[in-house]
Structure 1
Amino acid sequence: MAGSLAAAAYLCLLLPIVLATVNFDTCLQQVRNGEWGLIGGTDNSGHPVSNISTVTAITYDLCLVACGSGSEPFVWNIFSQQFSAWLLPYLALVSQLPFGAQNRLDNLVSMLLTMGSPTLAAYSLALTVLNGHWIAQRFAHLSYPNVGHAVNILSSLQQSSFHVTTDESLLASLIVLPDNDEWWSELVSWLDYIHTSTWSISAVASILWVIIAYIFTVIDSFSGVVTFSALNANGQAVGSIFLWLLPVVVGWLQLSPWSDATKVHQAMERANDIARVATDGEDEKPVPASDVSTKRAISLSKGTGEIHCDEQCMAPIYNYARFLPWALAVETVYYAFREASERSDNHQTVSGNAWIKRDRNVKICAENRRGSLTQVAAYVKPTFSPSMDHDKPRSRWGSSVVSRFLLATIIAFCLTWGSIGAAILMAFFTPTKGIACRSGSYLLYGIMSTIVWMLLITSSALAHYSTFTASFKGRYMHTKATRTAGVLSIVCRRLGKILATINAIWIVLVCLFQFGSFFDRCWCDSSVFYLGKRAAYNVIDVGPQDVAALNVPWIAGVALASGCAVFFLGIVNLLINPALQN
């Protein structure tokens, strides 16, 4: 469906220029016959030739006079073949991306963000994997019950905007009390049914279609007979510029993110219905959390305003927006588990009574974990110790966020600029060599992709900073700096989405223009932008030596794009699903 609409749109764009077509083969023959004089003929390296009848290329000035400024005619056979082989499989693969938003508009925006900024798409995936590995390492030394469940839940909630509440000892009760063991196990069990991205038959078929089409067309491009028209319409570069999509889709399918908004909310509400809270009553028996207040220790955020609206969208590409608040929430849970683990390792009970030895099948006896509300709260409260570095004030940016940000950035840049750079390399060395319409369009796509990533990453940092408050006489309030950060965050986010939409449309049009001979015109084929008008020339007659010279950059481009894709998937598989050692 997407391919048919794209082809139809391109055909509509061609209607105004059909009458302005040229034929470069006829034009070159006229030059060889001397109809346009004896000056302006060159060889395929741009050097003037003395015998006009042997020219294989012409200068840009002569090209305008002899051939005109129009493009070569649209050839349906070439267009349909290249479009079906190179572009259509990738457009079909887009449907396998994980979405999960509550409305179609948000899903559409997430698709445009992915296509418009592959850098952002690869970054969010890399960051998600790194976060999962980090949280497993962070909790690895803890020994308190339910640590494994906590890691699974918090790691999977990267696709959700959630907050942790420590008021009224809600978090302390959730972690310490044995009555809440069911909360942890049941939530993990319920969330296990919410994998929105799985290895379905359609997903496998789409992936195999892309891989087989890429292999077959690469082989065909090296073994087929190359003509002037076929050379410039060749989709080798197009296949490389979209190759980043393959490891991104495969990576999300391996992660199987819990991004179905409705089902995740239902699972969280269902679990919170059985949460219990300690009391200071006479019998000190825990009561349902619903009897205390409407707050819960861990719950999904609802309607946090315009500044944080991207955090509410559960499409995994928005994990970049949830990175900082997610890291802080995880740290809050970690510190509570850490204190409980240290005290239990020292055989300190919650109530202060003598430690009861555990059964071999029970990690910690339930009686050691029971106590009043005051005792439960104190059990997870840090004990002052000048020699312990974890007693230092916690950063409001989260632990190790800079290192994970930098590593995710490097991985994302390697994938996206590896594939885009391969396309630029192939187009650059295709006669006439240089930055022209095709290679320049690819370069612009890569630059815009990076700019969109920068704008949205900046927006997420400003949004997080805008939540910082200042204390004055016991009250919390926003400062002028945080309010300004909030406004700038909205501006950066909206600008980034607009540019991503434009970039997504742009790259599809560029591919259609290449397949439809729109770029086969004097200005594009002469590399005027790169060589300048005086030195620019248009190669028309491509010889065997020219085709042989293309093997090196084309092979290098295929190797670069494929190598970066394999490297990205290798990193994902290396870090995915880390084992929790405790």
Structure 2
Amino acid sequence: MKLIILCTETFPRATAILVLLLLISFSLASADFEQCLQDIQQGKHGTEGGRDNKGNEVDISKATAVSYEICVIACGSGRGAFYWSEFIQGFSSWDNLISVLLAVGSPTLAAYSAMLTVLNSRWVAGLFHKLNYPNVQSAVRILSSLQQGSTRIDRSDPSLLPSLVVLPQNDQWWKGMRKRLEYTHTWTVSAATSIAWVFIAYIFTVIDSFTGDVGQLVDASGQGVGSVWLWLLPVVISWLQISPKCDSKRLDEAFEETNMTAFVATSESTQPVLASSRNGHRAIYLEHRDGSLHTDERCTAPIFNYSRVFSWATMTEEVVDCFRPTSDRPPDVLEISSQHEHRLEMVQYYPTTIQHKYRWGSGVWSRIIIASSMALLLQWGTTGGALVIVISTPTKGLGCRSAAYLIYAFISTFIWGILLLSTVLAHYSTTESHESLRHRIAADLSIAFRRFGTVLASVNALVILLTNVLQLTGFFDRCYCDSSVMGLGAKFAYNVIDFVPDDVSAMKQAWKGGVILAVGSATAFVGILKLLIRNPSQREEN
């Protein structure tokens, strides 16, 4: 899981530098809203602008909120005071999340790739479910594992793949490849401790929000921050369950070593010969060609599984179709002898146009729809929980914090959509003639969409990191943000400064709903994924 290690090493350093710069700037003077309210109540800024916590006009001496105009005049447009103790309390739980980040820019894409990987594994198990031939179980495991690599079938020699399936000399290939790919990322003490700590930190943050001084914790408790990052737990748990083969070096070594043992039947010899003794062609191999069109496919990190869905599905069905005739034919026909004509009969029995049978892969769109639905549920369930928490906090309405969460989730979803479209165009371009104008247009659009999505994901990740740091330092505790000007408009906006008992009661009820929504969506994602993993042999109807 190189991506997790990279995030663990890189993001804390960047965050530390960012925090240091922010703390220097926050050492400057800031607004004291409590003192500001007292000045307004004493009439130092006139008799207009007093509000109750529902936005109704009241006598200035009884005001617990103030209009946005008076807030700017009396309190200034700067941020609220920075409290180190509150910053540490909120930042510590968020900082632990950084150590296990997979794809900060688009949680939707990370969740989609995880769910799609599991659905694909069930699908390939279903395809082989009723086939009765040696190496079937190994084929299921191997093909499922190869979702993490840009795998191709060599069609230059139509005898390569059938020979790999039929010849008993190739039993060693199937056993060897399965053994090399069945390494797993287990639940180490470090991984379990990190995930447990993040979960416990979030729970304590929630408890503290409901039992502490709500007026002081409303901006710096980190409950909204924790909810918007809660998607990370189910995504990391999912990959630990799936155990992706994301080590590119090990994949290369597995193919290099195992393909040296592959045999092929030829018309020049009465005995199968090693494919390596003829040329450099192998039945199944890893694609390493240069070129921008398949850049993401060559990346073995698990989040890039989205880019291989079509190429992997068509390759898988081609392999399955080589197993089907052997399962259907009588044992005496399938018996391997040393006679030259028998081997040629079996190899030539396989159709030579299998690759054209399935252009996209059977059932692939239904799996994409299901994986997409679950990814959107996780993204918008956790973000929705954060939005409920922040929007329900007086002054109620769309403000700086809630707008940042909303934009983050929207961009995350947009990135997923544009990268999915890029994958569709990339696969479409490979099914057309390379001289076709449509091919060139589809390929160019695919590259452009992928690059744009990647850049946008980087920007989105940096922005949400910066936003969370700013929130936890009280940067958004200013008249413009606290008055929910974005949602109410400058004319009707007002800033609630002094919370009354009714505010606290209503706020806690809304917070409960937000926590239930965020935790519920994360739990549902993990539960459904684990259910799919536990029943991989269930046949999926095409």
Same fold (TM over 0.5): yes
**How far apart are residue 307 of structure 1 and its match?**
0.7
Equivalent residues in 2 for 1:160-559, closer than 5 Å: 160-166=149-155, 167-193=157-183, 195=184, 197-227=185-215, 229-281=216-268, 284-343=270-329, 346-347=330-331, 349-350=333-334, 367=337, 372-381=342-351, 394-470=357-433, 477-559=434-516
1:395-416 alpha-carbon deviations (Å, 9 max, x no partner): 3111111101100000100111
Alpha-carbon distance between aligned partners in 2 of 1:127 and 1:44, rounded to the nearest angstrom: 47
Q: Distance in 1 between matches of 2:340 and 2:188?
A: 46
Give the drift of 1:432: 0.4
Q: Give, in whole Å, the separation in 2 of the partners of 1:70 and 1:274.
A: 71
Match of 1:92 in 2: 99
Distance in structure 2 (CA, Å) of the matches to 1:42 and 1:233 = 24
Mapped partners of 2:420, 2:412: distance in 1: 12
Identity %: 46
Q: Which residue of 2 aligns with 1:73?
A: 81
CA distance in 2, matches of 1:213, 1:371: 69
CA distance in 2, matches of 1:563, 1:445: 20
Distance 1:44 1:368 in 2: 91
CA 445–369 in structure 1, closer or farther in 2 if over 3 Å, else same: farther
Q: Give distance in 2, aligned partners of 1:158 and 1:369.
A: 37
Residue of structure 2 equivalent to 1:108: none
- After superposition, the C-alpha distances for 1:258-287 in whole angstroms (9 at most, x for unaligned) are 1111111111111111110112346x2111
Determine if contact 2:36/2:75 at 8 Å carries over to the other structure: yes
Cα displacement (A) at 1:4 = 6.0
Question: Matches of 2:426 and 2:13 in 1, distance apart?
Answer: 40
Q: How much does 1:393 deviate?
A: 6.1
Q: Report the CA distance shift for 1:92/1:581 in structure 2 as closer, same or farther (over 3 A).
A: closer
> Distance between the aligned counterparts of 2:169 and 2:350, measured in 1?
17
Q: State the superposition RMSD in angstroms.
A: 2.1
Q: Call closer, same or farther: CA 1:45–1:425 in 2, change over 3 Å.
A: same
Shift of 1:578: 4.1
Question: How many corresponding residue pairs?
Answer: 529
For residue 366 of structure 1, report the CA deviation from its aligned partner: 5.1
Q: For structure 1, list consecutive stretches of 5 or more residues without a partner in the other structure.
A: 95-110, 351-364, 384-390, 471-476
Q: Distance in 1 between matches of 2:177 and 2:339?
A: 21
* 51, 57, 78: which one aligns with 1:48: 57
Q: CA deviation at 1:576?
A: 1.4
Partners of 1:241 and 1:420 within 8 A in 2: yes
Structure 1 residue 304: deviation in Å?
4.3
Q: Closer, same or farther in 2 for the Cα pair 1:189/1:509, shift >3 Å? A: same
Question: Is the Cα–Cα contact under 8 Å of residues 337 and 380 in structure 1 kept in the other structure?
Answer: no
Deviation, structure 1 residue 147: 1.1
- Match 2:37 to one of 24, 28, 49: 28
Aligned-partner residue type, residue 133 of structure 2:
Y
The gaps in structure 2 that reach 5 residues or longer are 1-8
How far apart, CA to CA, are the structure 2 residues paired with 1:335 and 1:304?
30
Residue 369 of structure 1: CA displacement? Answer: 11
* Displacement after TM superposition at 1:372 (Å): 4.5
Query: Aligned in 2, Cα 1:190/1:3: closer, same or farther, shift over 3 Å?
Result: closer
Going from structure 1 to structure 2, the CA distance change for 1:521 and 1:81 (only over 3 Å counts) comes to same
Q: In structure 2, how many angstroms separate the alpha carbons of the residues matched to 1:40 and 1:138?
A: 70
Give the distance between the partners of 1:169 and 1:541, measured in 2 at CA.
80
Distance apart, 1:17 and its partner CA: 6.0
- Counterpart secondary structure, 2:297: helix
Q: Deviations over 1:387-438 (max 9, x none)?
A: xxxx996231111111011000001001111001110111110110011000
Alignment partners' CA distance in 2, 1:509 and 1:119: 20
Deviations 1:14-67 (A, max 9, x none): 5456545111001100011111111100111110113x2111000001101111
Paired residue secondary structure (1:22)? coil
Match of 1:149 in 2: 138
Superposition deviation, residue 76 in structure 1: 1.2
Q: Secondary structure at the match of 2:98?
A: helix
Q: Displaced runs of 4+ in structure 1, greater than 3 A?
A: 1-5, 13-20, 365-373, 577-582
> So what's the TM-score if we normalise by structure 2?
0.93
Which is worse superposed, 124-133 or 455-464?
Answer: 455-464
Which residue in 1 is equivalent to 2:529?
A: 572
Cα distance between partner residues in 1 of 2:244 and 2:417? 24
Counterpart residue type for residue 335 of structure 1: D
1:277-317: CA deviations, max 9, x gaps? 112346x2111111222111111111241110110010010
Amino acid at match of 1:255: I
> Which residue identity lines up with residue 349 of structure 1 in the other structure?
V
Q: Deviations over 1:93-115 (max 9, x none)?
A: 22xxxxxxxxxxxxxxxx5xx10
Change (3 A) 1:402 1:424: same
